[in-house]
Structure 1
Amino acid sequence: MPLFDGKLPDEYKEQIQSHSFTLVVPLLCLFAFLIGFPTNLLALWVLLLRTKKLPSTILLINLTICDLLLLLVLPFRIVYHFLGNNWTFGEAFCRVVIGFLYGNMYGSVVCLALIAVDRYVALVHPFGAKTLRSNKNSVCMSVVVWIVVLAAVVPLLASQQAYKINDSTITTCHDALPVEQQKNYFLPYFATLFSLCFLLPLLVVLFCYLAVLRTLIAEGQRFARAIVVTVLMLIVFVVCLLPSNILLLLHYATSNFNLYVPYQIALSFSTFNSSIDPLIFYYVCKDFRKKLWEALRCSGSDSESSSESRTKRTLLSKMSRTEGAA
């Protein structure tokens, strides 16, 4: 995404104002927002108000908050792209939107990796789970997630993101940057994010879920549904997040004009991970659906069976062991 004294090369200008950029990208973001925002909002409501605060639910709450914060900035990007990549909300807010987009995206990735670790310990090492899986450890892991979010957001908040294009009527938001800034600032920044906040979590997720799959397969047919859901988690994680991260690294490393539009499409597609998370982790679980239905029916009532509440087990454990759904 080069910028030479406020002027863009004609090739690049044609790309960022093409229909594949100004139509496909915002439509993907719009679909992700319409699907993900209400489902995550409902999930957060149930997790906070209707679910016992166990180690697994603490991590799920943090994942849902990350996903909601990411989805919350999508409407501004949608308007920006529909206007032909013309940013009208000011330089400061451009920094906030880009910071929240990347910060919460990688925070969500790290949270998914920690949830995979939690599930790995619960299912593969059930005896060790009695000491390793505690509310205190889950809170510590949650702190790690928000340290990652903060570390990802601060460099974006500290650098200019919006630039007026001299030979055009548009002001871009993170889509056209000075060459030196891209090479000396954003390349090391995104390379670090890729290595520590995507590649490492990806390896953790693959290791944990493959081990979980081996354990579930060894247990036999009664865990067939859990096996299917675990495979689905792996597929969604890889399909949604891997293309955008590879294209991101290639684009910044090579400064290849032709990679930027595919990268933006892949980045928009990656937001579907935040939309699909609640569908996989929560809504496939019969227990969660029951709590949601009860919450919707009795939202004005504080009555809830204390005996039922005491017998509730963690969502992850129940989905895996009794419901066979993750």
Structure 2
Amino acid sequence: MENISAAPYEPTEACRAANRALYNFYATVTIVIFTLALPLNASVLHLFIFKLRFWKLNTNNIFLFNLVLADVLLLFCLPMKAYNFTNGYRRSVNEVLCKATLFMLFLNRGASIAFLTVTSIDRYFSVVHPGRKNLVKALKKFPEISILIWLLLPPLTIPTMVTNFECCNTHKHEKHDTLIKDVLDSMREVVFFTQVLVPFVILTYCTVHIINRLRRRTVGDTAKLRRAVFLVMSVMVVFSFCFLPCAVARMVLLVVKVQELSESEQEKAVVAFDGLMVLSFMDCLLDPLVYCFCSTKFKTLYFSNYFPFLVKRPSIPLNSSVGKTMQPVCSNAT
């Protein structure tokens, strides 16, 4: 029986890097992101499990923990992407590894967007409609909703693995193409754009209404409203910086491929798409912004555990009661 997992294929010209120097730069950026994100996400994961014990807290912490898991999935793909770029290929020359990497990238993207969106929607209902019964509040009582989200993601990601396709030749019709291939290609693109554009519209709606709520609020806990604004704005930053540019580049790439423009224009579109795809890897570095703005307890605990020198400690009065005040200060520090 032929060993499929070890059988490389001869990559076509569409899979080769058009500009080796530029792709070496992409590889360097990918390695830098991996080097910075690995200890960051490892420390966050350690904090959620051993310090916060997220399963005993509210559902928001469970959502944030799953967001960490999504970032960890992305980290597994980055060394492979950097290796391919360095060797002058846009993807692995092993078909199984290529499809597995695409599956993990799509799964990470879907999970990150899903949990970021759910967190923002929850904050929207808590601030704008605090007393209204809604589906999100009902679901928050069941932490298993996170498991349901993970179970729904693979069926949307399977099309990246069940069909052979060139690196960027989706919808570039050939004579031997079948209806099934066309359907799978279309499904992949629909999933790609839907999981970015629809949540972005939802996040924009939540952000605008939370900001309007803060402006109309004259009395009450404005600090809570400001934290909510910071949260949704941080999510918008992640979307606008990581996901939207990649989606726009993908749209341009499809237009160029379908219209069968000149080869130089296609290469420019491919290079731009790959570069913005590398930029999307930054979400594993920006997601900690969401953790900090979503939970002041998490921010305080993180800095006190990993960067204690940045935490301001209460000053000790220089008077006769210094001996009395020293003990509670030390006990609070521990």
- Relative distance call for 1:253 and 1:193 in structure 2 (3 A) is farther
Which residue of 199, 207, 210 corresponds with 2:208?
A: 210
Equivalence for 1:190:
188
- Relative distance call for 1:229 and 1:60 in structure 2 (3 A) is closer
Structure whose alpha-carbon radius of gyration is higher = 2
Which residue of 136, 139, 144 corresponds with 1:139?
A: 144
Equivalence for 2:157:
153
CA distance, structure 1, for counterparts of residue 25 and residue 183 of structure 2 = 29
Q: Could you tell me how far 1:129 is from its partner in structure 2?
A: 6.4
CA distance, structure 1, for counterparts of residue 305 and residue 11 of structure 2 = 54
CA offsets per residue over residues 66-102 of structure 1, 9 Å max, x none? Answer: 1110122111111111111176673212211111012
Q: Could you tell me how far 1:45 is from its partner in structure 2?
A: 2.2
Give me the identity figure in percent.
Answer: 19
CA distance, structure 1, for counterparts of residue 154 and residue 127 of structure 2 = 31
Letter of the aligned partner of 2:103 in structure 1? G
1:50 aligns with 2:48: no
- Relative distance call for 1:288 and 1:133 in structure 2 (3 A) is farther
CA distance, structure 2, for counterparts of residue 231 and residue 149 of structure 1 = 25
Aligned pairs for 1:1-326 (under 5 A) are 7-8=12-13, 16-20=18-22, 22-51=23-52, 52-85=56-89, 90-128=94-132, 132=137, 135-140=140-145, 142-160=146-164, 174=167, 179-180=173-174, 184=182, 187-219=185-217, 222=223, 224=226, 227-228=229-230, 230-255=232-257, 257=266, 258-282=268-292, 285-292=295-302
Q: Is the 8 A contact 1:124 1:212 kept in 2?
A: yes
Q: Could you tell me how far 1:15 is from its partner in structure 2?
A: 5.5
Q: Is the 8 A contact 1:36 1:274 kept in 2?
A: yes
- Relative distance call for 1:203 and 1:176 in structure 2 (3 A) is closer
CA distance, structure 2, for counterparts of residue 189 and residue 153 of structure 1 = 10
Q: Could you tell me how far 1:195 is from its partner in structure 2?
A: 4.0
Q: Is the 8 A contact 1:26 1:82 kept in 2?
A: yes
Q: Could you tell me how far 1:203 is from its partner in structure 2?
A: 1.0
Letter of the aligned partner of 2:49 in structure 1? L
Q: Is the 8 A contact 2:291 2:298 kept in 1?
A: no
Unaligned runs of 5+ in 1: 164-173, 298-326
User: Which structure would you say has the larger RCO, counting Cα contacts within 8 Å and 6 or more residues apart?
Assistant: 1
Q: Could you tell me how far 1:265 is from its partner in structure 2?
A: 0.5
CA distance, structure 1, for counterparts of residue 87 and residue 57 of structure 2 = 44
CA RMSD of aligned residues (A): 3.3
Q: Could you tell me how far 1:230 is from its partner in structure 2?
A: 3.6
Letter of the aligned partner of 2:186 in structure 1? P
Q: State how many pairs are aligned.
A: 277
Q: Could you tell me how far 1:260 is from its partner in structure 2?
A: 1.0
- Relative distance call for 1:82 and 1:15 in structure 2 (3 A) is closer
CA distance, structure 1, for counterparts of residue 68 and residue 11 of structure 2 = 39
TM-score (norm 2): 0.71
